[in-house]
Amino acid sequence: MTRFVYPGSFDPPTLGHLDLIRRASGMADEVVIGVLQNAAKAPLFGEQERVALLRELVEAEGLKNVRVVAFAGLLVEFARQEKATAILRGIRGAADVEFELQLAQMNRALAPEVETLLLPASPQYSHISSQLTKQAARGGGEIKAFVPKAVRAKVLRRLREQS
């Protein structure tokens, strides 16, 4: 039984995240998306909102072997709790490689039995990040090429509420 945990902030979930989730779902018996609590100081969406958004996307994609949960604390503890065979992370470019390698080695030192799997982003999504999507939307830019339709609507509504 292969079970990946895919941790992240997902503030908001992007087309890049969704692509990784879809591909992982085809490689593992089960994928558990872990939504990090207190990810940013002032996230656009609360953790339960991010969980709900991801559940909506996973259901719309028909991915039956993907679960979404919130977690706090050490990533390796979350992976152990979920009896994960690997932690899945995405690689968009050189900056991600540096950071993700360090994270993987750190996690290996903390929990040698937990493997990390790094999956390259699909080229059409490799420029997409939650952070830059939020910045673009705040500046009035069109974000439909970065996030699913349902997410776009919620981002725009939240920004309107905040302004």
Smallest gap, in angstroms, from Cβ of residue 147 to ligand ADP? 10
Nearest residue to 46 (alpha-carbon basis) of 81, 70, 80, 16: 70
DSSP letter (8 states) at residue 33: E
Smallest gap, in angstroms, from Cβ of residue 29 to ligand ADP? 21
Residues that bind ligand ADP (rule: CB under 6 A) add up to a total of: 17
Give alpha helix (H) positions in the chain.
15-25, 47-61, 75-81, 94-110, 130-138, 149-162
d(CA 13, CA 144): 12
Smallest gap, in angstroms, from Cβ of residue 66 to ligand ADP? 14
Q: Which residues are catalytic?
A: 17, 41, 92, 130
Question: Among the candidate windows 57-65, 84-92, 134-142, 153-161, which touches ligand ADP by CB under 6 A?
Answer: 84-92
Window 39-78: contact mask with ligand ADP (x via CB under 6 A): x---------------------------------------
DSSP letter (8 states) at residue 75: H
Is residue 89 involved in binding ligand ADP (CB under 6 A)?
yes
Inter-axis angle of helices 149-162 and 130-138, to 10 degrees? Answer: 50
| Residue 126 contacts residue 92 (beta carbons within 8 Å) | yes
Nearest residue to 65 (alpha-carbon basis) of 120, 21, 35: 21
Smallest gap, in angstroms, from Cβ of residue 1 to ligand ADP? 23
Residue of the chain from 92, 134, 152, 154 that contacts ligand ADP (CB under 6 A): 92
Residue of the chain from 30, 47, 82, 96 that contacts ligand ADP (CB under 6 A): 96
Footprint of ligand ADP (CB under 6 A): 8-10, 14, 16-17, 20, 39, 89-90, 92, 96, 121, 125, 128-130
